[in-house]
Amino acid sequence: MKQDVSSLVAQAREGRPRAVARLISLVEGASPQLREVMAALAPLTGNAYVIGLTGPPGVGKSTTTSALVGAYRRQGRRVGVLAVDPSSPFSGGALLGDRVRMSDHASDAGVYIRSMATRGHLGGLAWAAPQAIRVLDAAGCDVILVETVGVGQSEVEIAAQADTSVVLLAPGMGDGIQAAKAGILEIGDVYVVNKADRDGADATARELNHMLGLGEARRPGDWRPPIVRTVASRGEGIDEVVAALEKHKGWMDERGVLVDRRRERAAKEIEVIAVTALRERLADVHGGQRVRVLSLAERVLAGELDAYAAADEVTRALASG
């Protein structure tokens, strides 16, 4: 259904949850109106502080997110929550539990909560998440918390879209080595050892501290990710997490890192969109490009042309429209 984008955007600006929901649906479903939506949102974005939370299943991300929402609401800030599940083709289902954990905030007009799954076609969630973040940003959220389930490559990619990445671990999850394998030791700006009420939290924090130190070649003034212990289910340590986030934000502002990160992210986003568009043109079975590729393939098979030279012809043709 065609929607009046400018009126939706105006309503989202006023904080109307239904307008925000519609805009995110347009984004998630890769609607043909996406371009119009993004063009309308562009001048309204760039104000929100985006915090990513990632970590193994069940570690306490949603509980921590919910506690952080409470902390930021007490500061009077408007908060957006985006729960993304790269492994699920369905929006909602797997995240039902999160809704329950977030239900404390369900009636708060200063909080907007949304879950997303891998629906949109182009580049999946890694591509859709930043657009949804923009919607929440334009809608006036001061802080946006992005919870990503799991610690695989796509989660790491989504985490990279945050201004500050929080990596959560809990005792007894075979921590260190697994964390290193998943690449999350590179992306954390703040580490949280949750479930500190359980045995082994100290050992986990020690191991993490050791592993973080191993790759260390820091210069004076570089950021050293702090490790914060929490019992999220009781709200313990949450103020310390907020303090660590503020400190990281301050450090980024001071050193120009925030601007650098955002520029880098925008550059990646442009690349993904451009490459996706090119790939679609290349794969268009009815169009000339497919025919061209097949005829080049014949010549490669016949030994008349090497694959690199053939690829050069394709990129030249795509570039010239």
Ligand X SMILES: Nc1nc2c(ncn2[C@@H]2O[C@H](COP(=O)(O)OP(=O)(O)OP(=O)(O)O)[C@@H](O)[C@H]2O)c(=O)[nH]1
Judged by CB under 6 A, the residue of 46, 58, 172, 215 near ligand X is 58
The listed partner (ligand X, Mg ion, none) that binds 231, CB under 5 to 8 Å by sort, is: ligand X
Token pair belonging to 218: 């820091």
Q: Which does 93 bind (CB under 5 to 8 A by kind): ligand X, Mg ion, none?
A: none
Binding of residue 60 to ligand X (CB under 6 A): yes
**Assign residue 172 a region: left if phi > 0, alpha if psi is -120 to 50, beta otherwise?**
left
172 in contact with ligand X (CB under 6 A): no
Q: How far is the CB of 3 from ligand X (least distance, A)?
A: 31
Residue 207's closest CA among 186, 221, 190, 191? 191
Under the criterion CB under 6 A, does residue 93 sit at the interface with ligand X?
no
Stretch of 60-68, 85-93, 178-186, 292-300 contacting Mg ion, by CB under 5 A: 60-68
Q: Verify binding: residue 126, ligand X, rule CB under 6 A.
A: no
Q: Of ligand X, Mg ion, none, which one sits near residue 197, judging by CB under 5 to 8 A according to partner kind?
A: ligand X
Which strands, in side-by-side order, build the sheet including 143-149?
111-117, 79-85, 143-149, 49-55, 164-169, 190-193, 227-229
Tell me whether residue 199 is exposed, middle or buried, using C-beta atoms within 10 angstroms of its C-beta: 0 to 12, 13 to 18, 19 or more. Answer: exposed
Q: Enter the DSSP assignment of 43.
A: G
Please identify, using beta-carbon distances, which residue of 9 and 151 lies nearer to ligand X. Answer: 151
CB 80 within 8 A of CB 129: no
Quote the CA–CA distance of 321 and 241 in Å, as a whole number.
50
The 190-209 contact track toward ligand X, x by CB under 6 A, reads: ----xx-xx-----------
Q: Distance between CA 251 and CA 283 in Å, rounded?
A: 45
Task: Report the C-alpha gap between 238 and 232 in whole angstroms.
Answer: 7
For residue 99, CA distances in Å to 20, 29, 72, 96 come to 17, 21, 18, 5
Q: How far is the CB of 188 from Mg ion (least distance, A)?
A: 18
Asked if 98 interacts with Mg ion (CB under 5 A), we say yes
Least distance to ligand X, CB of residue 97, Å:
6
Cβ atoms of 190 and 166 within 8 Å: the answer is yes
Residue number, 102 or 212, with CB nearest to ligand X: 102
- Does 62 participate in binding Mg ion (rule CB under 5 A)? yes
- Are 196 and 229 contacting, i.e. CB atoms less than 8 angstroms apart? yes
Asked if 22 touches ligand X (CB under 6 A), the answer is no
Residue 91 contact, options Mg ion, ligand X, none, Cβ 5-8 Å cut-off depending on partner type: none
- Residue (138 or 182) nearer to ligand X, CB: 182
Of 46, 57, 215, 288, which one interacts with ligand X (CB under 6 A)?
57
> Pick from 11, 31, 62, 289: which binds ligand X (CB under 6 A)?
62
Residues 6+ apart with CB under 8 A from 249: 49, 163, 164, 258
Segment interacting with Mg ion (CB under 5 A) among 26-34, 91-99, 262-270, 276-284: 91-99
Instruction: Tell me whether residue 65 or residue 131 sits nearer to ligand X (CB atom).
Output: 65
Phi/psi at 199 (nearest 5 deg)? -60, 145
Alpha carbon separation from 228 to 58, 165, 190, 192, 216 (Å, rounded)? 18, 13, 8, 5, 19
Point out which residues bind Mg ion (CB under 5 A): 61-62, 98
Point out which residues bind ligand X (CB under 6 A): 57-63, 97-98, 101, 149, 194-195, 197-198, 231-233
